[in-house]
């Protein structure tokens, strides 16, 4: 996958988010913005943090809607699936499975969530996003499309290898060598000055 192909997939993610946002009311859009910023800063978006940031960053809306309503909307939002994004990532999973794993992986469903709580043991974060009994992956929407592509590949590598450690790292290295959009591939692109979001001046998380 070359730079243009990675950019194409990033555009698909951004456009999916944009179409969804265009249908939302102002309160939901703001909760979404606060949530994404929290995840980018702290990996997860606990309700208390979202409410605190909302009050600090949007005091006029906080006063207009009131804490009770904002808390109710935010709590439901944080627990909900980002369904249009899930549909897109189901397609990307199938494409990556064929292209990088010769179709060997089971046809997992990809469930993109607005928030995924961080486990008490950070080492369990990747594993907590894979449900083998239900053949489902969970992926958090963080507003960074290239990072989401890399995270999808990482979860798929876990399914392929079953194990952590050297076998898993070797699989990631193999994926990187063949041009898959792994975290290493994305990092190399960024070292050249490439930044997808800098090409999207109208985009906000």
Q: pLDDT digits over 1-35, tens only?
A: 677 888 899 999 999 999 999 999 999 999 999 99
Which residues neighbour 30 within 8 Å (Cβ) at sequence distance 6 or greater?
54, 58, 61
Per the model's pLDDT, the better-predicted residue between 23 and 200 turns out to be 23
pLDDT at residue 89, rounded to an integer: 98
Tens of pLDDT, residues 126-163: 767 899 889 999 999 999 999 999 999 999 999 999 77
Asked if the model's pLDDT at residue 199 lies above 80, the reply is: no
pLDDT at residue 165, rounded to an integer: 82
b/e for 59-84, b at 16 or more Cβ within 10 A? eebbeebeeeebbebbeebbeeebee
pLDDT at residue 12, rounded to an integer: 95
Helix (H, G, I), strand (E, B) or coil at 85: helix
Separation of alpha carbons 137 and 109, rounded Å: 6
Q: What strands, in cross-sheet order, belong to the sheet with 109-113?
A: 109-113, 136-140, 130-131
Separation of alpha carbons 106 and 94, rounded Å: 10
- The DSSP element (H or E) to which 191 belongs, if any, is helix 183-191
pLDDT at residue 198, rounded to an integer: 56
Q: Hey, what's the torsion of the CAs at 26, 19, 201, 197, to 10 degrees?
A: 110
pLDDT at residue 109, rounded to an integer: 97
């Amino acid at each position: 996958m070359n730079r243009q192909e990675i950019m194409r997939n990033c555009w698909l993610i951004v456009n999916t988010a944009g179409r969804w946002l265009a249908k939302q009311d102002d309160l939901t859009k703001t909760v979404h913005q606060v949530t994404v910023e929290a995840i980018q800063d702290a990996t997860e978006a606990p309700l208390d943090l979202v409410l605190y940031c909302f009050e600090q960053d949007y005091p006029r809306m906080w006063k207009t809607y009131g804490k009770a309503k904002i808390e109710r909307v935010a709590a439901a939002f944080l627990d909900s699936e980002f369904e249009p994004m899930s549909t897109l990532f189901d397609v990307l999973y199938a494409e990556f499975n064929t292209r990088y794993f010769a179709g060997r992986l089971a046809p997992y469903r990809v469930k993109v969530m607005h928030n995924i709580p961080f486990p008490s043991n950070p080492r369990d974060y990747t594993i907590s996003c894979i449900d083998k009994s239900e053949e489902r992956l969970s992926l958090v929407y963080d507003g960074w499309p290239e990072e989401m592509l890399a995270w999808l590949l990482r979860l798929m590598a876990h399914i392929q290898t079953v194990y952590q450690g050297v076998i898993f790292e070797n699989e990631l290295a193999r994926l990187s060598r063949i041009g898959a959009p792994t975290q290493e591939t994305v990092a190399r692109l960024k070292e050249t000055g490439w930044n997808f979001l800098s090409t999207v001046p109208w985009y906000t998380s």
